[in-house]
Structure 1
């Protein structure tokens, strides 16, 4: 799937999704989250769940570049390290890539940055479960 196709797919399947797909290629994706006051926690920092949402969605987008519209793919593990406080009034950018694409499991990595800042604010590893082809086929028809 292309960046535009993934953007449309995410808007259709997850209408509340605040992400913008900036670019993607096979096994990689770059997403941007427009940070606003709803993403801030007390003290003015971007909340951990907001960064986890970006990591999970960026990983899913990378999977979509490789496998197409896998509607029933689910996160089985997400581990995140918060490296430093993100800038509260800058968008967040998540860059994902798939390290291993198996028949049933996909493992990937996501680095999150404050926009225009080269130093990462978080690092995540994610594992997704891909349903058997027979289940995917029944759902799509």
Structure 2
């Protein structure tokens, strides 16, 4: 497999590991956007969250929960981000959770600032979306 994260899991590519469980691995991002930017991945290859087994999902997000306190201690706040598929900005097609230390002076802004083209939706459209997603 030509997946960089699978190569990290197998030891073919070195990483600055922070935490490891039977099913998950956490390490510092090689191209951090903030000091302490950490990635948490399942050891098995999955491209999207909905593909995770229940066991791998539970382990992944328990690892995220534990590490969030440590990352949060760096600046007081942590952005948790998952890009679920290429269209969502996922650059490596192996599910990963970003834990990014944030502070008010980092100029990154809230998640809504990422989207300059937002949909205008009617009440009817919102009702239809609610029904579709519920």
TM-score scaled by length of structure 1: 0.30
Structure with the higher strand share, 1 or 2: 1
TM-score scaled by length of structure 2: 0.31
Structure showing greater radius of gyration is: 2
Structure with the higher helix share, 1 or 2: 2
